[in-house]
A and B are shown apart, each in its own frame.
Chain A
């Protein structure tokens, strides 16, 4: 029972991470298409400034919870996906440093250098996280000892790349809507237009990915056993469709909220399909790391659950406060303010 609760919490933490860091990763990777001037770039960085760090901590929490609740899954997942994870970490390092450093000097060359790193450092995590999760959904070649038989290129298979593209699009759209909600004038128009360009592509890739999932993964078997669970799909599909009309109506916060719901529920749809496996083995189902064979002791799960039940709501409250207080329209006055990026 505790194991199952933790499996769901584990999934929720990753889903929340994608939902939150998704908008700043997406916006970061869209900088070349959205920014025409230095002022544009400053507005874009300012729109992410107070948030990206707090968003990224959800990754640390998701990683920490994997370690604590499912140590075997943590060990196999991160040693198996070694190179992909290292690339992800390097990208995240470059990105954080770029955000902080770029504004510190007036030099054009300095800013261009860090801009490039910020863009690469935003795009690569989006892509790699998609590739990684698609591979987990599909199953990875691990043997009975949890040793990974493959390399980075094993992960870059058709379905894995499909997952990568899906994540890049989901995040890019999420980021454009964030910027549209936070800006007025030209930048708002550009971000909004970009979102309406991405939307049909996103729909096509989304549908294709669902279809590929039926072919390449066993995600659907849980749903076929309990067809009632398929009702979960209503939320992402509704969000995807309703987002289109909110974009047309230029109701940016509503569109962004729908996009957040889309990312959250899409991830959960995959996670529920995965149950009870955390890491299915593509070599032999018996080698899979599952909720039961990969979990910590009952005592650890119990203590961690108490900590999570008390702390996570508190975190949500103060992060919601931060978003409410700071995610207002960016004005000229904000730009004249020399504090921050």
Chain B
């Protein structure tokens, strides 16, 4: 193994671990903020207990998101120093702005919220969790503006052998990045919604705290329903933008090998065969369907993977499968949300629905991961699309150093992940403190 491969593995591992916690932070913070607002407005103690119960789970989840995020920021310098030098002008400033405008707010007011139940007025206490929720999502915006720049670089000029900032406005109004931000945000709200529905389902099945968990369930349900539709509609627009800006990613997402000048088909089921540059199985080809989905016209030309030399193509099978997983799960979330909506008024009688939802909790996470694999693996071999290859970005350091840190971090994250799952499960199943 060389430094490049180890650094990529380490980055993938660290990002994906970080990304177990981030989506729930983004979604659940807003849900907890809504619960506490309801408490402040109605004075209903049930909402206070809801806030405290879900808030505890939120806090246990939050801390691992924070500490693993610090590793990511510094990994650009440690493992990708050539990249850092090349794009620090733009990418670095977005990260720095994230820390100053969002991360400080998040951390400071979360501290005030956790320790402020007796020190702050109920109204101001609720304001604190809103600040945390808004700042967390604002944090995601700046990070994704940075990632969006890697996907679709804008507002720069090549000078002194690096990408220098030319228009800050272009960088922060990058349409590609905003699409990514919305897609990620809607997805995170689905994670939050299904998490709340799933844990509530467990307690409703046991007829535990029926009032509290019915209220929680419904709140989670509104979120899941609204955002599973929103993410699908917006996802379509996002995919069209990918088609225009990153044609090789589109070809990999669909395992399209040949260029089709007058309309590309889409198969409902296919198995890519990367070695022989073809698909070994293709069933139910719908002519022109891909062209229509990607470019709104059945006869629009679509480039196949063979347009690009082998070394410039993204890994096909992984991108293809991840895209299928994301879209398939997205469809499932819509169906499950509709089912839950239909049964919302007699939940406790609906044992099958509750059981299914209980086991569905991990699926939105899987779809978030799959989405990021499409975005990141689908962009390879570029680290900055069209500008810099990942292989040119890596630090000139010794393999042994990266091997050490990779194994140390993997071990550490595994232990922490287990402790985290143990704690979250324990408190989720224990239920709220008695009134």
> A residues engaging B (CB < 8 A)?
46, 49-51, 53-54, 56-57, 59-61, 63-72, 74-79, 82-83, 85-86, 89-90, 92-94, 96-97, 99-101, 104, 145-148, 151, 296-297, 299-300, 303-304, 307-308, 311-312, 315, 318-319, 322, 325-326, 337, 339-340
Contact = CB atoms under 8 A, between A and B. Distances in A.
Interface in B407-430: 408-409, 412, 416, 419, 423, 427
B59 interface: yes
Given A151-B398, A318-B105, 13 more contacts: A50-B111, A67-B77, A67-B84, A68-B92, A68-B93, A68-B97, A76-B81, A78-B81, A79-B395, A83-B405, A86-B78, A97-B419, A299-B168
B435 interface: no
A89 B70 contact: yes
Contact of B93 (A54, A57, A296): A296
B82 interface: yes
Interface stretch (B60-68, B346-354, B379-387): B60-68
B159 interface: yes
Contact of B396 (A77, A79, A337): A79
Contacts of A312: 100
B115 A326 contact: yes
Contacts, number: 227
A79 to B, nearest CB: 4
Contacts of A89: 70-71, 74
A61 B118 CA distance: 31
Interface string B386-413: 0000000001111001101100110010
B236 to A, nearest CB: 34
A68 B408 contact: no
Given A78-B77, A79-B395, A300 B405 contact: no
Nearest to B96: A64
Interface of B: 52, 59-60, 63-64, 66-71, 73-74, 76-79, 81-82, 84-85, 87-93, 95-101, 103-105, 107-112, 114-120, 159, 162, 164-166, 168, 395-398, 401-402, 404-405, 408-409, 412, 416, 419, 423, 427
Given A322-B108, A322-B111, A93 B67 contact: yes
A85 B110 contact: no
Contacts of B423: 101, 104
A86 B63 CA distance: 19
Contacts of B100: 61, 64, 307-308, 311-312, 315
Contacts of B93: 68, 296, 300, 303-304
